[in-house]
Amino acid sequence: MLPTPDIKDLDFNVYEPSEDSFLLLDCFEQEIKFLKSYFQQKSPIIIEVGTGSGIVTSFIMSNILPESIFLTTDVNPHAITTCRKTVEYNNSQFSGCFDALQMSLTTGVRKGLVDILVFNPPYVPAEDVPEIPDSERSDTWLDLALLGGSDGMVVTWELLNDLDTTLSEKGIAYILFCARNKPLEVQKIMESRGWKVDVVISRKAGWEVLSILKFYR
């Protein structure tokens, strides 16, 4: 097993690495051979949306594709500073490029740029997606990590609907779902739009079944 990054003094406003985060780590451990040969020593542009503590990006940086260009986004400013700290602490030897951006999804990223997109979204079904607080000191930042509106899919659909303009020609997106998101239906809809979709890994976590789907052209 590849080493898991250390998360130091996690801010209580930031999502604590959980089963879903660890499933993503295992997903990339499983994909390592494929990804290395697919990008053949070139430097892919990897963007993690909703990076939270930064654990997933730090893991990919250390273990999967070290000479890459990494960007992370999150709406939560506490997540952005935490992610930078996590990378600083775990990846001091990293010699690629890394920046953390406060941003919703990939709205401020140049189109057609992203080779690998990773997203562990707010996937819990809820009445609404919470509004972004207007103060850094608000105590509701963590709600944004969890609540995903109808079917827990509102935020994820926003990203999927723009995927075609976001990804580069060879681009691949890895997105995490829980069973209540109805991933098989999502898969069908995306396939009808011309995407290839594979289930990379799935696992029972408590009373939740989590899976990671891979979208590519």
Partner 1 sequence: MKFLTTNFIQCAVKGCQSSDSSFPLKYEECELVAETQEFKPEFLVHMLEKINWSALVQVARDLGNDNLPTEKPELDPIMEDDVLILKDLHNLLVETNILNGKMICNNCGHIYFIKNSIPNFLLPPHLCN
Candidates 27, 79, 175, 190; binder of ligand SAM (CB under 6 A) is 79
- Rule CB under 8 A: is residue 77 a binding residue for partner 1? yes
Name which of 37 and 95 has its Cβ closer to partner 1. 95
Name which of 79 and 153 has its Cβ closer to partner 1. 79
- Rule CB under 6 A: is residue 61 a binding residue for ligand SAM? no
CB of 37 to ligand SAM, least distance (A): 26
Where in 114-153 is the site for ligand SAM (CB under 6 A)?
Answer: 120-122, 144-145
How many CA atoms, within 13 angstroms, populate the side-chain half-sphere of residue 61? 28
The label of the residue with tokens 């080779």 reads 115
Candidates 49, 154, 167, 212; binder of ligand SAM (CB under 6 A) is 49
Q: Is 175 left (phi over 0), alpha (psi -120 to 50) or beta?
A: beta
Assign 1 to helix, strand or coil: coil
CB of 147 to ligand SAM, least distance (A): 9
- Sign of the Cα torsion 107, 108, 113, 114 reads negative
Tokens of 198: 């594979």
Q: At 204, which helix (H) or strand (E)?
A: strand 196-205
CB of 148 to ligand SAM, least distance (A): 8
CB of 199 to partner 1, least distance (A): 30
Tokens of 190: 């995306």
- Choose among partner 1, ligand SAM, none what residue 50 binds, the Cβ cut-off being 5 to 8 Å by kind: ligand SAM
Query: What are the φ/ψ torsions at residue 101 (nearest 5 degrees)?
Result: -120, 135
Distance CA 53, CA 69 (A): 18
CB of 197 to partner 1, least distance (A): 25
